Amino acid sequence: MSPHVVVVGGGIAGLAAAWEARERGCAVTVVEADETLGGKIQAASLAGATFDRGPDSFLARVPFGQQFVNDLGGSAELSGPLTAAASVYARGALRPLPAGHLLGVPGDIAALAKGGLFSARTIARLTVERLVLRKRPIDVAGTVREVLEPRLGREVLDTLVEPLIGGIYAGRVSEMELESVVPDVAQALAGHHSVVRAVAARLEVSRHLPAAADPVFLRPKGGLHRLIELAARRLGEHGVQIVLGATVDHVQKGAAGYELHLSCRSGSPQTLDADGIVICVPAWRAGPLLAELDPSLPGVLARVASAGVSMVTVALAPTALATLKGSGFLVPRSTAAMMTAATFISAKWGQRGAAGETLLRLSTGHAGDHRHEDLADPELTTALVEDFERISGVPITVLDSRVDRWPAGFPQYRVGHSHVVATVRAALRDTPVAVAGASYEGVGVAACIRQGREASAQVARVLRPTG
């Protein structure tokens, strides 16, 4: 008989974990607390258009997202955005996001000097940093700001690094651990004496990699939510059981394996027996589930804080954004605006309302900023529209709108996060129990897919399935 693996959580990490466990010969059950799969990857509708209410694509330069789609049999459906060009609000205007950097960390000074993003003083400082090597190599331990600002200056951190890295994690670069949030940057810098030189070398290597070609981002035709639909269908075809509307309250060790105790929205409590478990829920939910297996883990995982974000999507007249170019723009936190980003959905993906309406998404929320949480939907919409008009210089008339909120939806990789992850991994290493998802080693879709598949691979190796 094949070992039975229960996957707790039906987001993208959980679905990837379920697929991997089934591929390795396990019987699999997925338990999801909501009535739908996908986590933050969900379809939404406005003005007769269907679009992604959460993430809208995955990175093409790392193999895990595309490989998962290929394994599911949906590779022919993948496509990139219609435009990837973006801007950032700096020095009183929207300026093109330059080339020549690695997640905002400079590597090509000539490229960064174009477009007026930085002052002449900052460009001069970067030039000196590249030419005058410090005696001590770069110490990558610490926050993003602690490591980078002394070498690059505040303007680079506030104008480019914070909007990019901070935007991905809804966090502050003064709090986020460099090695956890941008491991590629940390690896590039380690042992070097110049940030600019180190990043330039990494960019040069990246240019020659096959995955360096456009597009940078991919998604299935129609939206990233189609990936969830594809995964659910293929898992069902492979005999994976999916239980919706059920919450795992606690996990007990049994005589032979584990017992998962469930509360179900539509019926009486249930108990599932499992030989192995892959937990793909946020750290604050995973900790209590691991309490009986290791009493120390709830406290360890409680150190992973979270931040909430909100997104307002508005429908506008077909030509409302005709004067704005690219896929959207970022807003540095130093502006004190509530809005952190604008995404021109129609320009980026081609999706429009039934009467040709243009779709625009306005994002807000990050660690330490709770203003959006205190506003009702109409007030939040008004506030973000006003920010958009002031920053872009384009007045808009909202024809329809919707608000999506993700309270506590973004884990914060603060100093010590790498130690938290290492501690949890070590505690579970020789057990048929593993954790995966955005709380641990990357919040992007591809990173979550990788973690889910690796977690199931670990569990399967311990169980040694015979099927």
* Cα separation, 382 vs 466, whole angstroms: 59
C-alpha distance from residue 373 to each of 232, 311, 379 (Å):
33, 11, 11
Strand 93-96: give its sheet, edge to edge.
93-96, 87-90, 328-330, 339-344, 358-364, 306-316, 400-411
List of residues 6+ apart from 423 with CB closer than 8 A = 300
Per-residue pLDDT averaged across 183-195, rounded? 94
Under a CB-based contact definition with an 8 Å cutoff, are residues 196 and 118 in contact? Answer: no
Residues 6+ apart with CB under 8 A from 194: 129, 130, 133, 134, 151
Confidence of residue 439 (pLDDT cuts 50, 70, 90): very high
CA dihedral in degrees (404, 407, 409, 414; nearest 10)? 140
Report whether pLDDT(422) > 70. yes
DSSP-assigned letter for residue 195 = H
Residue 215 preceded by cis peptide, ω within 30: yes
Q: Is the confidence at residue 466, as pLDDT, over 70?
A: no
- 202 pLDDT more than 80: yes
Q: How many CA atoms lie within 13 A of 178 on its CB side?
A: 23
CA nearest neighbour of 175 among 191, 189, 157? 157
Q: pLDDT-derived band of residue 115, with 50, 70 and 90 as boundaries?
A: confident
Mean pLDDT confidence for 214-235: 94
Residues in the chain: 467
pLDDT at site 92: 92
- Of 55, 58, 1, 21, residue with least CA distance to 280: 21
Residues ≥6 apart with Cβ < 8 Å to 106: 100, 112, 126, 152, 156, 160, 195, 196, 199
Secondary structure percentages of the chain, helix, strand, coil, to 5: 40, 25, 35
pLDDT of 465 over the 60 cut: no
Percent of the chain with pLDDT over 70: 98
Residue 254 to residues 64, 127, 228, 259: CA-CA distances in angstroms? 35, 63, 33, 6
Reported as a pLDDT band with limits 50, 70 and 90, residue 208 is: low
Paired with 50 in beta bridges are 45
Residue 196 has pLDDT above 90, yes or no: yes
Strand stretches in 66-166, DSSP E = 78-79, 87-90, 93-96, 101-102, 105-106
What 3-state DSSP class applies to 149?
helix
Domains along the sequence of the chain with CATH: 4-39+63-73+224-304+413-463 (3.50.50.60), 96-210 (1.10.3110.10), 306-411 (3.90.660.20)
The rounded Cα 11 to chain-centroid distance in angstroms is 12
Of 90, 78, 73, 190, give the one whose Cα is nearest residue 138: 190
pLDDT average, residue stretch 376-385: 98
Query: Does the pLDDT of residue 268 top 50, yes or no?
Result: yes
* Residues 260, 35, 447, 50, Cα dihedral to 10°: 170
Count Cα neighbours of 246 within 13 Å in the Cβ-side half-sphere.
Answer: 22
- pLDDT class of 207 with cuts at 50, 70, 90: confident
Report how far residue 319's alpha carbon sits from residue 356's, in angstroms, rounded to the nearest whole number: 9
391 close to 89: Cβ distance less than 8 angstroms: yes
pLDDT of residue 75: 75
Strands 87-90 and 328-330, sheet pairing: parallel
pLDDT for 467 beyond 50: no
Supply φ then ψ for residue 451, to 5 degrees.
-65, -40
Question: Which residue is associated with the tokens 């049994």?
Answer: 254
Please state the rounded mean pLDDT for residues 190-205: 93
Residue 62 has a pLDDT of 87
Sign of CA dihedral 416, 419, 425, 428: negative
DSSP single-letter state for residue 115: G
What angle, rounded to 10 degrees, do the helices at 120-131 and 195-207 form? 90
Owner of token pair 């952190």: 340
Give residue-wise pLDDT tens across range 59-95: 998 899 999 999 999 877 899 999 989 999 999 999 9
- Across 402-431, average pLDDT: 96
- Cα–Cα dist 123/320, whole Å: 36
Does the pLDDT value for residue 368 go beyond 50? yes
Alpha-carbon torsion 47, 39, 446, 465, what sign?
negative
